[in-house]
């Protein structure tokens, strides 16, 4: 399964659309990790067949009652917590989100909020948690390209060059 992961677009619609265009819309799922839900409209129009899953960020305050703050997905046997990250204080460290992920018994956490890419493994008493933040498509011009297969998660941070 191939996923494109975006966060913190903050009105950078054209950057997000360009990233999807580079991949010719050929992905199984687009994940949006909050702060710019309305920015997905051009992608929805151009690639209506591509499923989009989103969670609400701290700047997504309008009309989004039906969009959750977090979700847990099963991606080819990998349990993934998808959240914006603001409720877990990720700007100040990862301890809280790792503790929460451990409680939720997930293998990975995809989050945003910091605007800074992160792709690392945190080890806990119960195992390991893969932390992945694509960074901000608006400020850093970065996004995630993720492939999963048979319980294996391969993550990459990609960058749009203008």
Smallest CA-to-CA distance from 157 within 1, 13, 7 is with: 7
The answer to whether 97 and 85 are in contact (CB under 8 A) is yes
Query: What's the CA angle centered on 15, arms 120 and 75, to 5 degrees?
Result: 40
Q: What's the residue count for the chain? A: 162
Q: What is the mean pLDDT of residues 52-80?
A: 92
> Is the pLDDT confidence value at 64 over 80?
no
> Is the pLDDT confidence value at 140 over 80?
yes
The pLDDT value given to residue 146: 98
Share of the chain above pLDDT 70, in %: 99
Bridge partners (DSSP) of residue 109 are 81, 131
The pLDDT value given to residue 61: 81
Tens-place pLDDT, residues 12-36: 999 999 999 999 878 999 999 999 9
Q: What is the mean pLDDT of residues 61-66?
A: 79
Q: Which residues lie below 8 Å from residue 128, measured CB to CB, with a gap of 6+? A: 121, 122
CA distance 154 to 152: 7
> Is the pLDDT confidence value at 70 over 80?
yes
The pLDDT value given to residue 161: 84
Q: What is the mean pLDDT of residues 43-57?
A: 96
The token pair at 120 is 């690392």
Smallest CA-to-CA distance from 147 within 74, 43, 76 is with: 76
Smallest CA-to-CA distance from 57 within 16, 97, 115 is with: 115
The token pair at 159 is 């960058």
88 band by pLDDT with thresholds 50, 70 and 90: very high
pTM for the whole thing? Answer: 0.96
The token pair at 109 is 């956490």
């Amino acid at each position: 399964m191939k996923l494109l992961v975006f966060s913190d677009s903050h009105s950078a619609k054209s950057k997000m659309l360009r990233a999807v265009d580079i991949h010719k819309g050929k992905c199984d799922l687009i994940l949006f990790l909050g702060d710019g839900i309305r920015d997905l409209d051009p992608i929805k129009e151009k690639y209506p067949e591509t499923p989009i899953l989103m969670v609400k960020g701290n700047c997504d305050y309008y009309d989004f009652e039906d969009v959750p703050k977090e979700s847990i997905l099963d991606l080819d046997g990998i349990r993934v917590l998808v959240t914006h990250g603001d409720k877990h204080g990720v700007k100040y460290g990862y301890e809280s989100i790792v503790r929460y992920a451990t409680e939720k018994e997930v293998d990975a956490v995809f989050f945003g909020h910091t605007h800074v890419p992160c792709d690392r493994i945190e080890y806990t008493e119960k195992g390991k948690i893969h932390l992945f933040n694509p960074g901000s498509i608006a400020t850093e011009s970065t996004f995630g390209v993720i492939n999963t297969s048979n319980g294996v998660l391969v993550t990459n941070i990609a960058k749009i060059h203008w």
